[in-house]
């Protein structure tokens, strides 16, 4: 792997009792996770006083197709070793569809590969993948029926749908925005998402996934969509944030990003009464 494939984006800072280091493994063309996650954790810091720093490794990906996604997966171990050099507390593997393209429950294998690579490098860390985070968060919420918005071409959206359904969660409806260039995905306007989500079939759904992709910007629209739709709204980014906080043992206290991250969400069973 060349230096162009893996670069450190944030220099390590001295780690104190109130600072947690978060490692990110992202596609080389990703422009969203390194903006949305720091903003979410900034809000967490405002409430709790806990500080968070971010340290990234990048794996080549330009177009969201099966071939490039599988090639990216092959670099996960090398990326984990690189980012673990910063002695991070947790590593988030932030490419949901790259993992899901490998087949049912592939997040378990990917997370194991990353954890073993970090440990072999002498810096063990907790690991969360966006794919695993999305599925586990829905399960943690008690969601049995969901609807979702994805930026991908229809075949990849269908693959994500089947992956979620393989975890025992029915996908009632899915809207595919038919974008395959990853930079173009990152340039989509999140302010359009509430209107798009209103077009979903949502009969008796327990949650809506507003962005089933870590590259599609969604943070500015999450709270608005949740308020309008009247059901919990999550995204690949908010689910990943939720899992990072759980791995660190920190209670969510994030404002303006939906009930999941406010610390006030209830399970679907409780909402059903």
Catalytic site positions: 95, 213
* DSSP string computed for 161-198: HHHHHTTT-EEEEEEE----BHHHHHTS-GGGHHHHHH
For residue 96, say whether it is annotated as part of any ligand binding site: yes
For residue 8, say whether it is annotated as part of any ligand binding site: no
For residue 215, say whether it is annotated as part of any ligand binding site: yes
- The closest of 117, 115, 133 to 125, measured between CA atoms, is 115
For residue 214, say whether it is annotated as part of any ligand binding site: yes
Residue 80's alpha-carbon distances to 3, 117, 214, 273, in angstroms, are 14, 6, 18, 43
Residue 108's alpha-carbon distances to 18, 102, 103, 130, in angstroms, are 30, 11, 11, 11
- The closest of 215, 212, 214, 235 to 223, measured between CA atoms, is 235
For residue 65, say whether it is annotated as part of any ligand binding site: no
For residue 95, say whether it is annotated as part of any ligand binding site: yes
For residue 182, say whether it is annotated as part of any ligand binding site: yes
Summarize the annotated binding site for substrate as residue ranges: 30, 95-97, 152, 182, 214-215
Summarize the annotated binding site as residue ranges: 30, 95-97, 152, 182, 214-215
């Amino acid at each position: 792997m060349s230096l162009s494939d893996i670069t450190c984006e944030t220099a390590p800072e001295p780690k104190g009792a109130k600072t947690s280091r978060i490692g990110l493994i992202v596609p080389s063309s990703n422009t969203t996770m390194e903006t949305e996650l720091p903003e979410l954790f900034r809000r967490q810091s405002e409430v709790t006083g806990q500080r968070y720093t971010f340290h990234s490794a990048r794996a080549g990906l330009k177009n969201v197709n099966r071939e490039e996604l599988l090639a990216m997966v092959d670099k996960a171990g090398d990326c984990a070793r690189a980012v673990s050099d910063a002695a991070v507390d947790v590593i988030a593997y932030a490419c949901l569809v790259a993992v899901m393209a490998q087949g049912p429950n592939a997040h378990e294998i990917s997370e194991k590969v990353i954890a073993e690579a970090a440990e072999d490098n002498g810096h063990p860390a907790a690991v969360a993948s966006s794919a695993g985070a999305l599925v586990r968060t829905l399960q943690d919420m008690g969601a049995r029926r969901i609807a979702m918005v994805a930026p991908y071409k229809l075949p990849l959206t269908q693959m994500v749908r089947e992956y979620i359904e393989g975890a025992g969660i029915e996908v009632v409806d899915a809207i595919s925005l038919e974008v395959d260039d990853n930079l173009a995905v990152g340039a989509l306007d999140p302010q359009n998402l509430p209107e798009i989500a209103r077009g979903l079939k949502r009969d008796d759904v327990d949650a809506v996934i507003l962005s089933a992709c870590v590259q599609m910007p969604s943070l500015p629209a999450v709270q608005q969509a949740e308020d309008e739709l009247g059901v919990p709204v999550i995204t690949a980014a908010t689910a990943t944030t939720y899992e990072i906080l759980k791995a660190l043992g920190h209670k969510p206290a994030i404002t303006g990003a939906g009930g999941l991250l406010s610390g006030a969400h209830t399970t679907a069973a409780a909402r059903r009464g």
